[in-house]
Structure formats: C-alpha cells, structure tokens
Structure 1
C-alpha cells in the first residue's frame, strides 16, 4: 500500500484532494469547543487546505503524511519561511504554525504527541482498507488525551459499490471502531456527490477518560 500511495502522488492521481476548504470543517469545528491554541493532529494529511484553515483559526497543526511529494506541494503553495529538521525517525517540515511529519502514521508514538489536544480526519480512515482500520482507530486513541475532541469525515458508498480508495465506511463500522475509546456523535450525512456514487458522513468524537 505504501508504494501505491507514493505512486498516486507521483502520477497526480489525487482525486481525493479538494481545492477548497471543506464546508463541514467550517460548519462543525467551531461547535466542538476546541480551545484556541490547541494543537490539532491531522493523520494522512496530504496537502489539505483544511490545515491552513485550522492554522488561521489559532490552532497549531501537526500533519502526518507518507508521501514527501504531498508535503512539498503544500509548502510550495504556501507563504512564509520553511524550516526542516529530523525528529523521531520523521523528516519534519514547518511553515508558519503548520508542521508536517513525513513518515508512517503508525510509527508516530505517544511521546511525540505530547502537545496534541484535538484531531481532524477528513481522508485518513477512508484511505485505509478494512484490515487496517481497526489498527488506525486504536493507534489514534493512544495519541489523543482524555477529553480531546475531533472531527471525522467518512464516506458512505452506494450498495454494491466496494471500490476504493477512498473506501466506504458504514455508520455501524464507525461506531464499532471508535466507541470503545471515544464518545461518538453522528452530525450529518451529506448529499450524494455528482458522478461519484458516494456521500460523506460527519462525526464528532471525544476521547473517553477520567475527564469526560
């Protein structure tokens, strides 16, 4: 899967990338009550413009991305000085209040996540095949402190459509994956996307723990 993901970025097969801020982020993030200044984890971040939006709304952002091509395209489209360094096995690129860690999300450990207090997943869960999604949900839970809030945007595909990525993740699976460690609230299902045969589903998550 690693090679396939890198090939997609090299060849420009990135139909999952949006050229605008996601409307569900704009609509629902303010309702989560995440305190300004809270660092937001964005797994499998690509070159998402949503990270810019979070940064502009007083959130330091830590994105994790496997493809260096995505990171280079993100900073090339931005403004401001770029700093680069190596930390914990990751090549890190920082521009403004967005830092991008190039490497495998599953190799990002709790010691590196000490400052993280929220998360945003628009294209991580749905990029993973079924066999990997349980591992993803568990690893995310290990990185997020009790009481931390996040926004998850998944996909619902039409019956019989097993294509992907992006993969469809039914509501039942979202709850099965995350409810052991998160309070899960379904916010909305979007309208079917023209010509794509799927629609998005938006969820609010709160990490369970002593403070929840």
Structure 2
C-alpha cells in the first residue's frame, strides 16, 4: 500500500483528489460545535483543499501525509511564505495556519498531538486495507482527547467488494465496529451513488469517549 500510494503521487495518478472543498464538510462541520481556534488533525491528508477551508474558519490544521509530492504541491498552490523544520521522524512544512507533517501516520504519537482538539477524515480510513483499519481507528483514538469531535467520510461500493481498492469499501457496520469502542458514533447522511464508480459516501460524526478533564 505504501509503495503504491507514493507511486500514484509521483506519476500524478491522483483521481481521488477533489478540486473543491467537500460539500459534506461545509454542511456538517459547523454542527459539530468545535470551538474556534481548535487545532484539527487531518490524517493521510494529501493536498486536500478541505484543509484550507478549515483554516479559513479559524482552525489551525495539522495534516499528516506520507507523499512528499503532495505536501510540496499543496504549498506551491497556496499563498504565503513556507517555513520548514523537523520533529523526528517527520519533516514539517508550514504555510499560514496549516502545517503538514511528512511521514507515517502511525509514527505520530500523543506527545506530538498535545494541541489537537478535533479531527477530519475524508480519505484516510478508505485508503487503508482491512487489516490496517483497526490499527488506524485505535491509533486515532490514542491521539484524540476525550470530548473531542470529528467528521469521518467513508465509502461503500454497490458491489460490496471489500478487496477492491484503494479507495476501499467500508460498510456502516464496520465503521461502528471500528470506532464505537472509543467514540460516540452518529450517522449523519448517505450520499447518492456515483454513476461511474458505484461508490456511495457515508458521513459520520465522532465524539471521543472518556472522562472529561
């Protein structure tokens, strides 16, 4: 999966990239009640324009992306100076209130997530094969403090073929199975099936369980 992902970016095979802010983010994020100024974690972020939307709504953004090409393109397509620094094992680029960490999401640890108070997943869970999704859900729960909220967008295939991907088919049952041990999971909507791909999006609100401090 890692090699294929990097090859896609090197070869420009990024049909999964949206050239506009995701409408589900615009519709549902304000309803989550995330406080202004809360830093938002965006795992496997690519060069998503959704991060600029979040930043424009007064949310600092911390995106994590394995492909250096995605980060460099995001910075080149943005406006403003870019600062660069390292926090091992990540190299970091910052432009405005968006900082992108280049490296493996599973190497990002709780000490580095101290300021995180919300999250947004449009293309992380569905990019991971079945064997890795449980690890992802558990790792995300470790990084997110109790009471924090996030938005998750998953995909289902009309054929239900779980082996085809990425992006992968992730059923509503699997979303609940993965996240309900650590999150309050609320289904928000299902989109219309896409004619070409047969994919249907499902949108979820997640609130981290646990004692509030």
Mark yes or no: TM-score above 0.5: yes
- For residues 22-171 of structure 1, the aligned pairs below 5 Å read 22-162=22-162, 163-171=164-172
Please state how far the C-alpha of 1:160 moved relative to its aligned partner: 4.5
Q: What displacement does 1:109 show?
A: 0.2
What is the deviation of 1:196?
A: 1.0
Whole-angstrom CA distance in 2 between matches of 1:135 and 1:98:
26
Find the aligned partners of 1:108 and 1:198 in 2 and give their Cα distance.
Answer: 30
What is the alpha-carbon distance in structure 1 between the residues aligned to residue 209 and residue 160 of structure 2?
34
Deviations 1:47-84 (A, max 9, x none): 00000000000000000000000000000000001000
Deviations 1:118-162 (A, max 9, x none): 000000000000000000000000000000000000001112534
Residues 19-70 of structure 1, C-alpha deviation per residue, up to 9 Å, x if partnerless?
A: 0000000000000000000000000000000000000000000000000000
Structure 2 CA distance for aligned equivalents of residues 161 and 141 of structure 1 = 27
TM-score (norm 1): 0.98
Partner SS for 1:184: strand
Unaligned runs of 5+ in 1: none
SS of 2:111's partner is helix
Pairs aligned (count): 212
- 5+ residue gaps, structure 2, are none
Aligned to 1:26, the other structure's residue is in SS state helix
- TM-score, structure 2 as length reference: 0.98
What's the secondary structure of 1:18's corresponding residue?
coil
In 1, Cα distance between the equivalents of 2:131 and 2:161? 18
Q: Distance in 2 between matches of 1:193 and 1:17?
A: 15
Which stretches of structure 1, 4 residues or more, deviate above 6 A after TM superposition?
Answer: none
Secondary structure, aligned partner of 2:142: helix
In 2: Cα distance, 1:156 partner to 1:18 partner: 18
Separation of aligned partners in 2, 1:32 and 1:186: 13
Output the CA distance in 2 between the equivalents of 1:119 and 1:68. 21
Q: Which residue is equivalent to 1:16?
A: 16
Q: CA RMSD in A?
A: 1.0
Q: Secondary structure at the match of 1:101?
A: strand
CA distance in 2, matches of 1:143, 1:151: 15
Separation in 2, partners of 1:35, 1:194: 37
